[in-house]
Amino acid sequence: MSRFLKVQCDCGAQQIVFGDAKSEVTCQKCGNTLVGPSGGRANIHCRILEVLG
């Protein structure tokens, strides 16, 4: 899986993240962890609104 995901944080902020993120991605608004690495595959902690590509 190598694609971008449009996700929404619990705070309502929307953000584009890489589906295979190797590092932690945090919400730009509240700092909540959106994506964390898990055994080489991204672990999505938030709601996925849309899969891009």
- Where on the chain is the footprint of Zn ion (CB under 5 A)? 9, 11, 13, 27, 29-30, 32
Residues 6+ apart with CB under 8 A from 4: 16, 17, 18, 19, 51, 52, 53
Minimum CB distance to Zn ion smaller for 8 or for 53: 8
CB of 29 to Zn ion, least distance (A): 5
CB of 40 to Zn ion, least distance (A): 25
Minimum CB distance to Zn ion smaller for 11 or for 49: 11
Question: Closest Cα partner for 50 from 1, 6, 10?
Answer: 6
